[in-house]
């Protein structure tokens, strides 16, 4: 199987991709490749629920119902302009009769892009603001739209988010936000790279928590928990960010992305294979915690997130629910299924 980068002209052959504005279609083209199936290979099976939108570029794809041929999709035909069997779960199976070339798009991403494209009066180039220095600044938007948690956000909110964001340019060594300062903005790194550090009594220079690259987000913890900044973010190269004000962030991004559960529901999730994740300080955790809980302090979540199991459900908890809501947001934003214990562990007897 070989992959070949798509072009705007190729994507315009398909519906509803042909309705996207050129710059938005170009952003999609950079994320989609032409792939191949050998004769007899299966593209998907009857009953599949994976949300992928498929288009046939060349060759003949046979549609089968319980092993019996019920139709074909031939690349270049009028019928092939439309997605193949777009209903979920799939009502048919699809198998290549000969060498088939196809493209595959995340269905949720496509739906968000179409809505974003059609409800706004702007294009990607207009949102970038400044000229593209070094290339790839549009990738941060595509990365956000591909984030599973972003699919919880109503399309109207997505439109408002991009329209209300401001671009700020920085030089290498500039401090974007300082530990101990008040939280005022949510940030997306759109160009360059940055370092997240946290000052401790044993390290005034700060311990390294994370490296940030294009598409990474930061600054949400202080906004959600109404606390001081718990780390410093410093540019390691020249670059730029897009930022969203605190109130816009809370209304447009935070509220739709968080799933709150009461203690009974949380206990059911944990009993069904989920995991308590306590984001308080180790001293707080040692003094009092829920049975079976693991402890990752909020300021360490970005550093330790690769130790968590993406297939597991996490119920994030703290004493009141404030810090845990910030932790759950970070997990959700990175594709984890996370819930927040409403009121925290101090609300009900343990």
Distance (Å, rounded) from C-alpha 255 to C-alpha 244? 15
- Check if 318 is active-site: yes
Task: Assign 176 to helix, strand or coil.
Answer: strand
CB 234 within 8 A of CB 195: yes
Structure tokens at 226: 């109404």
Sheet holding 275-278, edge to edge: 260-261, 337-341, 313-317, 275-278, 294-295
Kindly name the residue from 85, 177, 235, 318 that is annotated as catalytic: 318
Phi, psi dihedrals of residue 343, rounded to the nearest 5°? 85, -15
Residue among 19, 93, 5 at smallest CA distance from 57: 5
For 108, phi and psi rounded to 5 degrees?
-65, -45
Q: Are 274 and 294 in contact (CB under 8 A)?
A: no
The C-alpha atoms of residue 74 and residue 68 are separated, in whole angstroms, by 18
Distances in Å between the alpha carbon of 264 and those of 15, 109, 269, 339, 345? 46, 34, 9, 13, 12
- 41 vs 5, 73, 80, 95, 100, CA distance in Å? 21, 15, 19, 6, 9
Phi, psi of 111 (to 5 degrees): -65, -45
Residue given tokens 């069997």 in the structure block: 85
**DSSP track, 222-288:** HHHHT-B--SEEEESSSEEEEEEEHHHHIIIIIHHH--EE-HHHHHHHHHTT-EEEE-S-HHHHHHS
Catalytic residue IDs: 318
């Amino acid at each position: 199987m070989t992959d070949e980068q798509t072009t705007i002209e190729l994507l315009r052959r398909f519906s509803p991709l042909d309705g996207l504005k050129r710059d938005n279609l170009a952003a999609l083209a950079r994320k989609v490749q032409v792939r191949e199936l050998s004769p007899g290979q299966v593209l998907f099976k009857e009953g599949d629920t994976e949300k992928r939108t498929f288009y046939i570029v060349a060759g003949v794809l046979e549609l089968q119902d319980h092993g019996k041929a019920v139709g074909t999709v031939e690349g270049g035909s009028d019928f092939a302009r439309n997605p193949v069997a777009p209903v979920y779960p799939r009502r048919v199976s699809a198998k290549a009769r000969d060498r088939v070339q196809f493209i595959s798009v995340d269905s949720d991403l496509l739906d968000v892009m179409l809505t974003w494209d059609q409800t706004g009066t702007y294009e990607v180039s207009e949102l970038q603001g400044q000229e593209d220095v070094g290339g790839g600044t549009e990738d941060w938007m595509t990365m956000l739209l591909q984030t599973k948690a972003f699919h919880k956000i109503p399309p109207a909110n997505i439109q408002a988010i991009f329209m209300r964001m401001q671009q700020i340019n920085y030089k290498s060594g500039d401090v974007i936000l300082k530990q101990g300062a008040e939280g005022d903005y949510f940030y997306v790194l759109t160009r360059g790279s940055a370092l997240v550090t946290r000052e401790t009594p044993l390290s005034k220079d700060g311990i390294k928590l994370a490296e940030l690259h294009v598409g990474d987000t930061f600054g949400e913890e202080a906004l959600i928990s109404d606390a001081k900044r718990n780390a410093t973010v410093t540019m390691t190269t020249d670059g730029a960010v897009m930022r969203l004000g605190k109130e816009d962030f809370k209304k447009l991004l935070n509220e739709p992305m968080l799933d709150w559960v009461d203690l009974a529901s949380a206990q059911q999730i944990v009993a069904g294979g989920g995991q308590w994740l306590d984001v308080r300080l180790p001293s707080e955790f040692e003094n009092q915690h829920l049975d079976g809980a693991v402890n990752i302090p909020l300021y360490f979540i970005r550093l330790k997130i690769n130790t968590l199991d993406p297939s597991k459900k996490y119920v994030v908890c703290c004493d009141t629910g404030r810090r845990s809501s910030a932790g759950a947001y970070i997990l959700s934003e990175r594709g984890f299924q996370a819930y927040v214990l409403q009121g925290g562990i101090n609300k009900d007897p343990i």
